[in-house]
Amino acid sequence: MRFVHVKTGEEVKFLRLGLNESTCKPTVVYESLRGDVWIRSAEEFFDGRFITTQEHEKLKAEAALAKANAIRTPSRKRD
């Protein structure tokens, strides 16, 4: 499954869940498209910092639609 880092817009590939050896807390192992492998606490990964690529595409489409509507709807002049 692929996710997008909200802050950077970078797409990453979810590899697997794991456990932190010293704390036994859940972690996420993921890979950047450049091939870098990262580990982050599951709590951080799923707190909104990353969204699925489907969610990201939906947000981009909604933003484009809102922009198009703003361009088509001229603001009214007040007298």
| pLDDT tens for each residue of 4-23 | 999 999 999 999 999 999 99
Residue 20 lies in a domain: yes
Q: Kindly indicate the confidence band of residue 31, based on its pLDDT and cuts at 50, 70 and 90.
A: very high
- In this structure, of 24-33, 43-52, 57-66, the range with the lowest mean pLDDT score is 57-66
Residue 79 lies in a domain: no
Residue 73 has pLDDT above 70, yes or no: no
Residue 55 lies in a domain: yes
Report the number of distinct structural domains present in the chain: 1
Q: Write the single-letter amino acid at 39.
A: I
Residue 19 lies in a domain: yes
Over pLDDT 70: what percentage of the chain?
91
Q: Taking phi first (over 0 means left), then psi (-120 to 50 degrees means alpha), and beta for anything else, what does residue 55 get?
A: alpha
3 vs 76, higher pLDDT: 3
Residue 26 lies in a domain: yes
Residue 50 lies in a domain: yes
Check: pTM over 0.85? Answer yes or no. no
Residue 17 lies in a domain: yes
> Could you tell me the residue range of the domain that residue 46 belongs to?
2-72
Residue 78 lies in a domain: no
